[in-house]
A and B are shown apart, each in its own frame.
Chain A
Amino acid sequence: MSSKLKCLLLSGVIITLFVFPLAYGQNKFKLKPDAKGKLCLSCHDNFKEKLKNPFIHTPVKSGECSECHNPHTSSHGKLLDADPNKICNKCHEGIVPKNAKSNHKVVMEGNCVKCHDPHASKNKFVLLKAGNELCFDCHKNIGNAVAKVKFKHNPVEKGCINCHDPHASTKGKHLLKNDLVALCVSCHKTDRPSFAKQHMNYPVGKANCSSCHNAHGSDKAGILFNNAHAPVANRMCGQCHEAPDSPNALRTKKTGFELCRGCHASMMNDVFNKNRVHWPLVDKVGCLNCHEPHASEQKKLLTGEMNSLCGKCHPDTMEKQEKLAELERKEKEAKASSKGAAARGKEGAITHNPVQGGECSACHLPHASDSAYLMNKPFFIESCGACHDWSKHATHPMGAKVVDLRNKNITMDCLSCHRSHGTGNRYLIPFPTVTDLCVQCHKQYKR
C-alpha cells in the first residue's frame, strides 16, 4: 500500500471518528440548514423584540436554541435540556475555580438567572440590571448603608466589581479580587508620608485595614467603622500599643483582659467580684473573643451580631435554633394550607423569640454573673418574668417554697416545665405532650 493511500485511509478514519459526531452534536435534531433559530421564532414571535437588545447570549445570537432547550420533550421546565441549575455549566464550566477561597452562593447553587438573562439584555454580560443596582437587589443592607453614609468610598460608588469578583475568588475572602491588604494598597500608597501621618506613624502598611475602616463607607471621617474604640477615634494608639518607633510597634502592652483592665477597671472589678465569670473573658484572647479592639459595625464593638458571635463557641445551641425555626416554618406552612381540626390542633410556640433573634443577653450576662448559667437574675422566674407575666399565665404553684416532686432538692420554676432554648415540642416543654409532662410529677394520673 502506498503511503498516499495510507494517509487517505487514516484521514477517513479520523473524519469518521471525530468530525461526524461533532457535526451530529451540532445538529442533533437534524434541522434543515436554514431552520436554526428561525424555526423557533416562527412560533415564539414575541422573542424577536428581546433580540433587539444590544447584548445577546452567544447561542441565542447564532440561533442555537437547542443548545439549551429540547424542542420535543424535557424533564425540566421551559423544555430545558438539563437541570436549570447545571445547564450553564455545559459551556461555562470553569466559572468557579477549584481552588476558590470564596464563592458567591447563587453561583454555587446554579442560580445564574438571578443575575443574568439567558437570552438577551440591555446590559453588558447579559446582566439583568446595570452596576451596583443588581447587587443591591439582594444585598439590600449594604445598598441602603452605601446610599446613606456621609463619607463614601469612591470604588464602591463606581461599582462593587472594582473589589469583588461576582462569581468566585481564588485570592480572598468575601469574593475579594485580591487579599484584602493587597487590594487596599493597590490604591492607597503606604509609602507616602501622608499615609504614615494619618496612622500616627504606626507601621500599618501590612495590617488588616478592615480592623478599623469600613470599605463600604461610613459616617465617620476616614471611613472608620461607625462604632470606633475611643483610643482609635482619638488617635491614641499608644494607649494599648508599644511606641510607633519601637521594634514591635503593633504589639500590645499587655495581653488578654489585663490590657483592657487599664481603662475598664470599674467594669472589670465588677466582673471579678461576681461568683461566675464567662471563661473566655479570662483566656489568652480575653475581651477580643467578643469585641473588636479598634472599630466595629456593631454596638459595643462586638465582632458580629450576637447570634453568630455566641454561636461561634455554642454552635450546638445555635444549630438547634435553626432546626427549630425550620420546623416552625414548615408547620406554619402546613397550617396555612390545612383546614379545620388539623389547623386547630397546633398551638403553642416551638421557638423562643429572644433566642431566635440572637438576643442572648436578654437572659444571660455575657461577662459574669452570681447565678448559674450566667443568668441575669438570681431566679429563673425573675428572668422569665421580664417578658412573661407568669402569675397570670400559670396557675401551677411556683417559687422558692414549692418543692419539685421529682427532686426534693429543687424548687418549682419556669424551667421545671419549659426549656428556654426549645425542645422541638410545643410550649418549649421537654415532652411531646402536656400530659406527658404533667404525669412526671402527678403520677396518679398516668395512664
Chain B
Amino acid sequence: MKTLRQHSAKRIAHGVMIFFILLVIGLYSLVESFSAETVKLKYIQSVYFDEKGAGMKQPEGIACNDKFLLVVGDTENDRLIQYSFQERSLKAGTEIKVQQLSNPIRLQINSKGEIFALDGKKRRIIRLNPDGTFKTYVDGEGVPSPSTFVPRSFKIDPQNNIYILDIFSARVLVLNPEGKYQKQIPFPKDYGFFSDLSVDSKGSILLIDSVRAMVFSAPKDSNSFSPITKSLREYLNFPTSITNDNRGTIYIVDENGSGIIILGQDGSFLGRQLSMGWNEGLLYYPSQICINERGEIFIADRGNSRVQIFTLVK
C-alpha cells in the first residue's frame, strides 16, 4: 500500500515538474517571439571617408566580424577600406588596393581574418591575406561539370566553408575552407532570379529571389531548396541581399525600396525598418548588409556613397 502511495506521489511530482518545464519553455518562447517582433534598428553613425579623407563612391560590399573588423567594398573606386569598429568608435580606414581586384561588390571575412571579395567586373572571387595582400582566387577547384560558374554572391560560415551562388549553372556550390569543391545544391524548379545567399547558425542555406520576392531554404545536409515564405512583395520592392544574426533572424535588403525587412527564422514577417532618403539614418539603394554578434548592423548605403552603422534594439 505504502509503495503504491509513494509511487503515486512520485508520478505527481514528475507531472508537476514536466508542467513547470513546459511553462518555462512556453514563457521563454513567448519572450523570444515578443523580442523578435520588436526588433528595431537604431542609428549609430555614418562612414564616408578613409583615413586619408578620400570619400567612398557607390560602395556595394561590406563585411564584418566579431573581432571588431569592418571592411568596405568601395566599388566605384576599385578598392577596399578596412576599419576597426569597437565600442562605437571607428578607427583606421586603411585602403586596400590590389591589382587583381576591381569593382568589389560582395565581401566576406573568415575566422582567420582573411578577406574575400567578389569582383563584379571579372565575376571572380578573390582571397586576400589579413594584411590585405593578394592570396589566391577562389575558382572552385574540382567543381564538377558544368565547370563554368558565375558567382553572383557568396558567403562564408563560421567553419570557413565557402558557399557560392552560381547563377550560370543554377546551383549553390559548397567549397571547403581551402576552396576545394565539397558539394552542390541545385536551385529550386520555380524561381525568378537569385541575388544573394546566407548561411544560418544551424547550417541552413537561404536564398533570396529578387524577382519573386521569396526566401528559399535548404537545411543542412539537404540537397534541395524549398520556399520558406510566400511572395513578400507587399512588404518590399526588389530584395538583393540577405543575412541572418546568430539567433536566426533574417535580414533582407530591399534595394529599390531602400529598407530592411526582418523575418523570423521560419520566414514569418517581423517588420520593415528604415526608408529612402539622403539624411543620415536613411538609405538610398542600399546593397550588402552585415551583422556581428554584438547586434551591430553595417549597411553599404550605395546610392549615398557611405556606410551606415546601426544597432539592434529589442
Contacts and interface: CB of A to CB of B under 8 A. Distances in A.
Interface string A369-388: 00011000000000000000
Given A258-B148, A316-B238, A440-B278, A407 B304 contact: yes
Given A313-B193, A314-B238, A276 B121 contact: yes
B103 A407 contact: no
Interface residues of A, number: 29
Given A283-B167, A373-B285, A406 B278 contact: yes
B55 interface: yes
A280 B150 CA distance: 11
B237 A316 contact: yes
Given A316-B237, A409-B55, A282 B167 contact: yes
B120 interface: yes
A275 B119 CA distance: 9
A284 B189 CA distance: 13
B103 A276 contact: yes
Contact of A284 (B55, B169, B238, B279): B169
Contacts of A313: 192-193, 210-211
Contacts of A373: 285
Interface in B229-256: 233, 237-238, 256
Contacts of A440: 278-279
Interface string A253-282: 001101000000000000000111101101
Nearest to A406: B278
Nearest to A314: B238
Nearest to A430: B276
A430 B121 CA distance: 32
A283 B167 CA distance: 5
Contacts of A282: 123, 150, 167-168
A407 B237 CA distance: 25
Contacts of B152: 279, 283
Interface in A348-383: 372-373
B306 interface: yes
Given A316-B237, A316-B257, A409 B48 contact: yes
Interface residues of B, number: 41
Contacts of A275: 102-103, 120-121
Contacts of B305: 407, 409-410
A280 B210 CA distance: 12
Nearest to B302: A372
B58 A283 contact: no
A404 interface: yes
Interface string B149-193: 010100000000000000111100000000000000000000011
Contacts of A315: 211, 233
A284 B148 CA distance: 10
B233 A404 contact: no
A314 B240 CA distance: 12
B77 to A, nearest CB: 11
Nearest to A256: B168
Contacts of A316: 233, 237-238, 256-257
B56 interface: yes
B78 to A, nearest CB: 9
A317 interface: yes
Contact of B306 (A276, A277, A407): A407
A255 B102 CA distance: 27
Nearest to A419: B276
A406 B305 CA distance: 12
A407 B120 contact: no
A421 to B, nearest CB: 9
Contact of A409 (B56, B238, B276): B56
B48 A284 contact: no
B306 A409 contact: yes
B76 A372 contact: yes
Contacts of B148: 258
A278 B306 CA distance: 23
A408 interface: yes
A282 B167 CA distance: 7
A276 B55 CA distance: 21
B190 to A, nearest CB: 14
A284 B170 contact: yes
A419 to B, nearest CB: 9
A404 B302 contact: no
Contacts of B121: 274-276
A252 B245 CA distance: 43
A280 B152 CA distance: 10
Contacts of A408: 48, 55
Interface in A274-316: 274-277, 279-280, 282-284, 312-316
A61 to B, nearest CB: 51
A72 to B, nearest CB: 47
Contacts of B278: 404, 406-407, 410, 416, 440
Nearest to A276: B120
A355 to B, nearest CB: 13
Given A274-B121, A275-B120, A279-B167, A406 B279 contact: yes
Nearest to B58: A372
Contacts of B211: 312-313, 315
B304 A410 contact: yes
Interface string B2-46: 000000000000000000000000000000000000000000000
Given A275-B121, A316-B233, A372-B58, 5 more contacts: A255-B146, A276-B120, A280-B193, A313-B211, A409-B305
22 contacts: A255-B146, A256-B168, A276-B103, A276-B121, A282-B167, A283-B168, A283-B193, A284-B167, A284-B168, A313-B192, A313-B210, A313-B211, A316-B238, A404-B278, A406-B278, A406-B279, A407-B278, A409-B57, A409-B305, A410-B278, A430-B277, A440-B278
Interface of A: 255-256, 258, 274-277, 279-280, 282-284, 312-317, 372-373, 404, 406-410, 416, 430, 440
Going nearest first, the 9 A-B pairs with the smallest beta carbon separation are A316-B237, A406-B278, A283-B167, A409-B305, A284-B170, A409-B48, A409-B55, A282-B150, A313-B211
